[in-house]
Amino acid sequence: MLIAEVEPPIRHFKGKLVKGMDKRCERWRVFLARLLQRLGGCIQSVRTKAAAEMNTTAKQREVIDPIDTVYLFGAGSVEGAWEPVLRALERIYGNPVPSDLANWWFSVQGRLIHLTSCWRSLVDQQLEARFGPGDHQKSRQGIVALDNTYRQQMRSLKDEIAKELFAAHDRGELRARENLLTAVATDAGEGSTANLTANWDLSLEKLLESIDDEPPKVLHLHGDIRNPDGMLLPGERPEEVYRDEGSNSNITSAYWKAINIFNYARRIYIAGLSLSPLDAALGVILGMGLAGNRLPGEIIVVNRNREETTRITNQVRMMIAPSTWTLREMVIS
């Protein structure tokens, strides 16, 4: 019903009803005006607060000093890095694994345990959709038993790798390539630095301890031998359903720290890291960090093999490096 249709009958009444209606309407208009005024003030307050927070965030970004040099080290920066790992594989599985097949072997094992860990939580309908009709309870029991076996093997393998790497440290078989580290440090010159490594061993810490009185600060992206359960093996994902919450959170936390470090880096040395398909997660965090980096910079790919150095450089240029960043190669014999 339209307001115009209501007004004529109301106007026929005289006395208190008409006056009362007018007063109520007036009070209602005043109430609405005050309400809108208060709402407007609240909205303006929220806008002002949001703007202030944005300005504060912008100012905080401005006061964070850029990191002059970030080192990202891989297994190629350590002498004897793979031999202890291969010995651990042979101890656990009884057969030697050639060095050129080790990453493939790790990849197969990682995919296998990922699948069984996902299958064990499937309900009957999901099992039937994947494997067809049958006794799903019995199938699930078999999957769980198989998955538990793989999980125990993974834990045992990580423990054995840690033991072999500790033993290699004690025997002096495992050490950072000083010529490589000296070359990149000389090339970088003075300035603030951040040390990141994808290695599990402590070679970098031991070298830094020998040349500096201060405790070394090294971020292990894939965990280290001091906590074998938290080590990320080739073929594993940063977040896995079969790992405990502590190990998953530690790895993701390390990746998040690395993203923020790359975000403020002016120069990055990728040293001894092949960036193979098993290093895809490292490529992701490097790309994410550089995507938020507003200033131009430089990436230096460091390797002992010229062809590998060129391959990695082209890979970084095509898929990771911002257009404002330059790339350079360093071959260290």
Cβ–Cβ < 8 Å for 230, 247: yes
What pLDDT score was predicted for residue 100?
82
Token pair of 239, please? 């977040």
Residue length of the chain: 333
What pLDDT score was predicted for residue 54?
54
pTM of structure: 0.79
Neighbours of 81 (CB within 10 A): 22
What pLDDT score was predicted for residue 21?
42
pLDDT in single tens digits along all 333 residues of the chain? 333 333 333 333 333 333 444 454 555 455 545 545 554 554 455 455 555 555 554 444 445 688 999 999 999 999 999 999 999 999 988 888 888 888 888 999 899 999 999 999 999 999 999 999 999 999 999 999 999 999 999 999 999 999 999 999 999 999 999 999 999 999 999 999 999 999 999 999 999 998 888 888 999 999 999 999 999 999 899 999 999 999 999 999 999 999 999 999 999 999 999 999 889 999 999 999 999 898 899 999 999 999 999 999 999 999 899 999 999 999 998
**Degrees, nearest 5: CA angle 321-326-331:** 95
Element (H, E) at 80: none
State how far the Cα of 275 lies from the Cα of 272, in Å rounded to an integer: 9
Whole-number Cα distances in Å, 313 to 38, 52, 78, 241 = 60, 42, 20, 34
State how far the Cα of 202 lies from the Cα of 272, in Å rounded to an integer: 15
Got the DSSP string for 125-138?
A: HHHHHHH-SS-HHH
Whole-number Cα distances in Å, 162 to 59, 300, 324 = 44, 31, 41
Token pair of 11, please? 């106007």
Token pair of 44, please? 């303006």
**Degrees, nearest 5: CA angle 303-306-311:** 85
Element (H, E) at 192: none
SS3 264: coil
State how far the Cα of 245 lies from the Cα of 242, in Å rounded to an integer: 9
Neighbours of 58 (CB within 10 A): 9
Cβ–Cβ < 8 Å for 235, 111: yes
State how far the Cα of 146 lies from the Cα of 195, in Å rounded to an integer: 39
Cβ–Cβ < 8 Å for 210, 178: no
What pLDDT score was predicted for residue 314?
96
What pLDDT score was predicted for residue 187?
96
State how far the Cα of 53 lies from the Cα of 328, in Å rounded to an integer: 39
Instruction: Report the phi/psi class of residue 232: left, alpha or beta, with left for phi > 0 and alpha for psi in -120 to 50.
Output: beta
Task: Name the residue type at position 256.
Answer: W
What pLDDT score was predicted for residue 62?
46
